[in-house]
A and B are shown apart, each in its own frame.
Chain A
């Protein structure tokens, strides 16, 4: 009905715009500037500030494996599932890939943002469903788009504290279905109806229901503290840093082109195939759509009208997907006969003003985590930044490259500089691969590990922004092969 479609377009502005226009430039393929190494030629490794980030007396924690379901545009093949189904698929994929005994895990942690009320501790429902022993405790964490980062770092903390040795962390987001509630007034009436004792009371309560009671309450797309939607804030951020529409469209095109190349070259080895009940087996991300600058230029701004620069095509789209990683103490991993992929090293969480600096997490987190690890920007071989919006990425890069910003807002003497683009998000990013909010963090970390292996680098850096004006950054060190 009209009513439903209105609701949907209200909740899902980016995707409805996206699906309306993006399909047209699906088949157009054009090559773009950056040509990536497929790993055949390994990059020369520079001399590093530090040989390793191992610290005496601190346990080495390793990433053994990372997997994810294909990330799909919401409303497509996963449409009839529930969130824990996706998480379950990722967990089973991890079990399958690692041959991990189902009782060998000490703890399971999942990150998610929009919770399905029936499965609010989605970690527990998914791990039981995936066949893990019911003796393994599991809990769910939330921190907007860095929820699975929190899941991983919680695991790191448990291992460091000597509580656990083996952790499965992951994230899931399912945007094909979101909890749309009755209005507060209606809920109040219904709850009162529950307690009503006489028929008279019941009838009078039913009689008190008005049209206004029937207006549903949608999950907020806006920041609670400021009532501003994220796209709107991203557009303002882009404007604040003087990021042009052209720069954003170019970056979006880059992301899609690189993702397509990576997909075609078979580099996205973290993706597991998933037989969707009642539907086909899904084995590939379906949001990757390299297009042309001309096509991208045609889109109208999605949030700030008419002069904004953020469009559906240069924003990440609403995505369904789940991820999972196996994290262990190095000793345990080796004892169990695993060949770890990477060390998880220093990490930071940062937060700042949710109004004007909502999406600047990477700009704040990167220098901080580098300082913590004692590394410089040049030490990093692989960068994986979460791409919420092309404008947000460009703004963060400009912030990192500005002495004025470093001095005025970060209390630093000089900038750390922007990452070199030839090391940056070379296998695509959230703009093209998709961004299931709760699941992206694990994808970033796994991708860094896989790229380090492929490209032969030593250090990688993950950075991401999140609603609430928060952010995360982590340094990952390649495991000696």
Chain B
């Protein structure tokens, strides 16, 4: 029958109200904090749009979200993931393209009123409208983050953006996926008009701001109908020149070439999405819109089926999961936090804490150390002023929550103490005793260590249930990961509190069990041991770096060692070597120790594997390590020394150790394992983390490789039981 069921179903996601001659279309997904372009949302939108077009009393429309912090956050990822073939995804893309084409060609002007996130499909929707008004709220961001999920803007974005913001601007947006704030969006020509967020009035600021945005958008809609607002702006001189230049085919070719070169250099060709974005833009500009839209839809379909996209989407979901506190709400929130040690780490922790409304004490033992740390915090905030993220006034008022001191005064008010003193068990024991003498009973003692087992540190504590590990990564303000380590004695509330603080600091958090090296350091150690062996086998640092970055690591192994510090690496190698035995062998620890003896401690000392000249970006290999490596020279075995074998030797040891951490219960699950490896250690994001890598690459293939290396090097490459289980049964997967 021609019975249309949807006619009888009340609309739940999209509704509209006619205000005199303007239809106000409101979006609100009742089941979520954000609006996404789900099937339901799209269907209701089409229905509403048809009604608005058919209603003769309506001359224009305003498109607005009822959610305070979100216009449309993007397409529904699950909708894409539910597809099994690229053809299905291409079809989705084409449906989106068709819908937005109708919006673009609407005889009644549509004004998008944007407050909150306007991302991905949401942005594509907005730019299909005739006019855009956005609030200057901090929550208002526009962008095309698809590339970060290994996808491209698949609903006309690759075709409309170049026309709207110019070719270079469009590439910048789509290839970086970065968020653009309202002011910048106005400058770029992405939105036409800005609306200020309102403060207290006769309604809550959020509610009234949306109302105000709607009022202004309605005025704009009427203005367009009455020709008071012209949609085609007169072009300025600069614009005319730019258009002329971009009209030259040769110039465009140069841009494609340039952008392509940059992408290849940065991605090492490991990420297909940026290349497909360039391809789609090019198709539209060079062969016309029909080819362009077709290329966009087809490329979108292809990308959705790639392992890279799968990996990146997995990381996205993992990141969302690791931004939640699975230990519940702590009994008392941390309002006063004290940090011991104003070194790089301590000051970094202070910097990410003090602007979160937590009163922060930074304690050091010397005035010099303290001043250095205070200056680091100041500089961190000051740099944000330069980026216009905060005002100088906000910097000052934030800094008023930071107290620098040399003694323990005020520690009786501390809710949590994080120690970031030197990595020496005796010093840590002394500190814990000193601190416990002055802090109140409820105060948590967190220790920032990268390798010392927490239970060993807690041994000196009178209240081990309040002791926990919080392993930050350097530089603290840039690295997203926080690894929290619990012992058998750590109470659940202590863990909940540590996670709550970490989340406030903006961290992605994994909570792992105690043990030498916990999870992250433990995975890194065997890989670094292998890297040292590779160096001993005559591969120079530059080549080693190229091999690792070629595999997808953002930082090469030799550079990473320099960044971490050769002394730290030596320390860790020795400690973990003792704890895990010969399995952690490989390169000779004496290589590192000798380097330290000679003062080559890595970047911080100016020399390590490389020589660092201040002010110089490029770096040369440290010539003084040649004789050292000569002294420890090993003869490579040609059967396991091809470039690819070297890469897999490094990676397989990392991955095997990660799987073993899951096997031993150090890890809570593969999701946290992947997130920890990617966000803390730079495991290639395109592989999605060690566990997804095993799923994608095949445990059997990996085991096969490891057995080959095992024959040459012995137990360094013995696969762990869990990996063997997965190799035996191809149905076994870490991720469903």
Interface: B391 (CB within 8 A): yes
How far in angstroms is the closest Cβ of chain A from B330? Answer: 29
With A236-B199, A240-B200, A409-B200 already in contact, the answer to whether A226 and B391 are too (CB < 8 A) is: yes
With a cutoff of 8 Å between Cβ atoms, the chain B residues found around residue A402 in the complex are 202
Q: Are A395 and B391 in contact (CB under 8 A)?
A: no
* CB atoms of A227 and B391 under 8 A apart: yes
**Which residues of chain A from 63 to 80 have any CB-CB distance to chain B below 8 Å in the complex?**
none
Q: Please determine whether B393 and A225 come into contact, CB atoms closer than 8 angstroms.
A: yes
Q: Is B205 an interface residue (CB 8 A)?
A: yes
CB-CB contacts of A335-371 with B at 8 A, as 1s and 0s? 0000000000000000001011100000000000000
Does A307 reach chain B (CB closer than 8 Å)?
A: yes
- A357-B219 contact given A225-B393, A240-B208, CB 8 Å threshold: no
Q: Are B196's CB and A236's CB within 8 A?
A: yes
Known: A224-B393, A225-B393, A226-B391. Contact between A240 and B216, CB under 8 A?
A: no
How many chain B residues touch A (Cβ–Cβ < 8 Å)? 17
Q: How far is the CA of A224 from the CA of B393 in the complex (A)?
A: 8
**Looking at the complex, which one of A225, A307, A356 makes contact with B199 (CB distance below 8 Å)?**
A356
Q: Mark B196-207, 1 if CB is under 8 A from A, else 0.
A: 101111111100
**Chain B: minimal CB distance from A262 (Å):** 32
For residue A242, CB closer than 8 A to chain B, the reply is yes
Complex CA gap A395/B391 in Å reads 28
The verdict on B256 contacting chain A, using a C-beta distance below 8 Å, is: no
Residues of chain A with a CB closer than 8 A to B193's CB = 306-307
- Chain A residues with Cβ below 8 Å from B201 are 237, 239-242, 395, 398-399, 405
B446-491 at interface with A (beta carbon < 8 Å): none
Is B198's CB under 8 angstroms from A236's CB? Answer: yes
Q: How many A-B residue pairs have CB under 8 A?
A: 60
Closest 7 CB pairs of A and B: A356-B199, A240-B201, A240-B198, A241-B201, A225-B393, A307-B216, A236-B196
Nearest CB in chain A: distance from B335 CB, A: 21
Given contacts A235-B196, A399-B201, A409-B200, 6 further A-B contacts (CB under 8 A): A239-B208, A240-B198, A240-B208, A242-B201, A304-B196, A356-B205
Residue of A nearest to B223 (CB): A306
Q: What's the nearest-Cβ distance from chain B to residue A265, in Å?
A: 37
* A355: chain B residues within 8 A (beta carbon): 199
A335 to chain B, nearest CB (A): 49
Interface membership of B195, Cβ < 8 A: yes
| Chain B residues whose CB sits within 8 angstroms of the CB of A239 once the complex forms | 196, 198, 201, 208, 212
Most chain A beta carbons < 10 A, residue from B202, B216, B219, B391: B202
Taking CB atoms, residues of chain A closer than 8 Å to B196 are 232, 235-236, 239, 304
Chain B residues, Cβ within 8 Å of A241 = 201-202
Specify which of B200, B205, B212, B393 lies most central, judged by the most chain A CB atoms within 10 Å of its CB. Answer: B200
Q: Which of B190-241 contact A (CB under 8 A)?
A: 193, 195-196, 198-205, 208, 212, 216, 219
Chain B residues near A25 (CB-CB < 8 A): none
Binding site for B on A (CB under 8 A): 224-227, 232, 235-237, 239-242, 304, 306-307, 353, 355-357, 395, 398-399, 402, 404-405, 408-409
Asked if residues A404 and B202 are in contact (CB atoms below 8 Å), the reply is yes
Give 17 CB contacts A-B under 8 Å: A226-B391, A227-B391, A232-B196, A236-B199, A237-B199, A239-B201, A239-B212, A240-B198, A240-B201, A240-B202, A241-B202, A242-B202, A242-B208, A304-B196, A356-B199, A405-B200, A408-B200
Most A CB atoms within 10 A — which of B199, B212, B391, B393?
B199
Chain B residues whose C-beta falls within 8 Å of the C-beta of A304 in the assembled complex: 196
Q: How far is the CA of A405 from the CA of B201 in the complex (A)?
A: 7
Is A405 in contact with B199, judged by CB distance below 8 angstroms? no
The listed residue with most B CB atoms (<10 A of its CB), out of A224, A356, A398, A399, is A356
How far apart are the CA atoms of A235 and B193 in the complex, in Å? Answer: 16
How far is it, in angstroms, between the C-alpha of A235 and the C-alpha of B199 when the chains are bound?
11
In the complex, chain A residues whose CB is within 8 Å of the CB of B205: 240, 356
Give the interface centre of B195, B201, B393 by most chain A CB atoms within 10 Å.
B201
CB distance from B231 to the nearest CB of A (A): 15
**In the complex, how many angstroms separate the beta carbon of B391 from the nearest chain A beta carbon?**
6
Chain A residue nearest in CB terms to B208: A240
Q: When the two chains form their complex, are residues A356 and B219 in contact, meaning their CB atoms are under 8 A apart?
A: no
Are A405 and B216 within 8 A (Cβ)? no
Kindly list chain B residues whose C-beta atoms are within 8 Å of the C-beta of A405. 200-202
How long is the Cα–Cα vector from A404 to B203 in the complex, in angstroms?
A: 8
B-side contacts of A240, CB under 8 Å: 198-202, 205, 208, 212
CB-based contact B208/A226 at 8 Å? no
Q: Which residues of B contact A224 (CB under 8 A)?
A: 393
Residue of B nearest to A241 (CB): B201
Determine if A357 and B199 form an interchain contact, defined as CB atoms under 8 angstroms apart.
yes
Q: Which residues of chain B come closer than 8 Å to A399, judged between CB atoms?
A: 201-202
Which residue, of A236, A241, A307, A356, has the highest number of chain B Cβ atoms within 10 A?
A: A307
How far, in Å, is A41 (CB) from chain B's closest CB? 37
Q: How far is the CB of A216 from chain B (nearest CB, A)?
A: 21
| Chain A nearest CB, measured from B202 CB (Å) | 5
For B391, list chain A residues within 8 Å (CB): 225-227
Shortest Cβ distance from B199 into A: residue? A356
- Provide the residues of chain A in CB contact with B216, threshold 8 Å: 307
Rounded to whole angstroms, the CA-CA distance of A395 and B393 in the bound complex is 27
List chain B residues, Cβ under 8 A from A353: 199
Give the docked Cα–Cα distance between A395 and B200 (Å).
11
What's the least CB distance linking A353 to chain B, in Å?
7
- Closest residue of chain A to B133, judged by CB? A307
Contacts of B200 in A (CB 8 A): 240, 356-357, 405, 408-409
User: What is the bound-complex CA distance between A225 and B390, given in angstroms?
Assistant: 11
* A395 surroundings in chain B (CB, below 8 A): 201
Measured in the bound complex, the distance between the Cα atoms of B194 and A306 in whole Å is 10
Q: Which residue of B lies closest to A353 (CB)?
A: B199
